[in-house]
Amino acid sequence: DFRKAAFFQSAPTLATCPPEVGREVAFAGRSNAGKSSAINCLTGNGKLARTSKTPGRTQLINYFQLGDEPLYLVDLPGYGFAKVPLATKKEWDKNLSEYLYERQSLVGLVLLMDIRQPMKEFDTMMLNWAVEREMAVQILLTKADKLKKGPAKSTQFAVQKQLKEANIDDLVSVQLFSSLKKSGVEQLATTLNQWLQP
């Protein structure tokens, strides 16, 4: 039950994450893509994950536990925060790839992209890492409320086509999402429930 989500722990690196017990799903995406908002929307708790107009708000790996079971939603730091030095960015690439490759309890990745700028370099990098591990990915085209229905749908189809051409459409799905309008939430919840089932 996503409504039972509660803050569990913050970790600056993979090494300081909680023990690899149970199952977790990670939320990744470029800075400001709407990761924290999506977690709040899914859990019905607007104050759970800190959201901000300033990109780079979330700089730690934040764990939220679902009820009493060892099931977690993981809010990853946003990528591409302009004010971060290159060395820090490289450190984060390393951290993220380690997390995606080595985290045993990670069962799926939610990859958020602003619908107005989907499939940027960071997004394809994350996709490649996840697919190499044969991990399921749900792409959320976020802030879908910023586009009219027609253009939103054609963006979704364009991304779907790219996945098909890359031969990864068996592992990777794409859906529209808006935290503002609370749309796409049930579709996301259904996918996450499948992933988190033992």
Where does this chain bind ligand GTP (CB under 6 A)?
Answer: 29, 31-37, 51-53, 55-58, 78, 142-143, 145-146, 178-180
Q: Which is nearer to Mg ion, 131 or 177 (CB)?
A: 177
Residue 191 interface partner, choices Mg ion, ligand GTP, none, CB cut-off 5-8 Å depending on type: none
Provide CB contacts within 8 A for 131, sequence distance 6+. Answer: 137, 168, 171, 172
Do 179 and 187 contact (CB within 8 A), yes or no?
Answer: no
Terminal Cα-to-Cα distance of the chain (whole angstroms): 14
Sign of CA dihedral 35, 37, 42, 43: positive
Stretch that binds Mg ion, among 10-18, 28-36, 115-123, 189-197 (CB under 5 A): 28-36
- Which residue stretch of 53-61, 86-94, 97-105, 190-198 sits at the interface with Mg ion (rule: CB under 5 A)? 53-61
Give yes or no for residue 58 binding Mg ion (CB under 5 A): yes
Nearer to ligand GTP, 52 or 88 (CB): 52
CA 114, CA 102: separation in Å to the nearest integer?
27
43 is in the binding site of which of Mg ion, ligand GTP, none (Cβ under 5 to 8 A by kind)?
Answer: none
Q: Interface with Mg ion by CB under 5 A: which range of 7-15, 57-65, 91-99, 166-174?
A: 57-65
DSSP 64: E
- How many angstroms separate the CA atoms of 151 and 162, rounded? 17
- Using alpha carbons, list the distances in angstroms from residue 177 to 2, 112, 114, 180, 187: 17, 9, 10, 9, 9
CB 155 → ligand GTP: shortest distance, Å? 14
Q: Which residue is nearest to ligand GTP (CB)?
A: 78
- Residue 36 engages Mg ion in binding (rule: CB under 5 A): yes
Q: From ligand GTP, Mg ion, none, which one binds at residue 179 (CB under 5 to 8 Å depending on kind)?
A: ligand GTP
3-state helix, strand, coil in the chain (%, to 5): 40, 25, 35
62: contact with Mg ion by CB under 5 A? no
Residue 62 or 156: which CB sits closer to Mg ion? 62
CA 37, CA 177: separation in Å to the nearest integer? 11
Q: Is 138 in the site for Mg ion (CB under 5 A)?
A: no
- List of residues contacting Mg ion (CB under 5 A): 35-36, 57-58
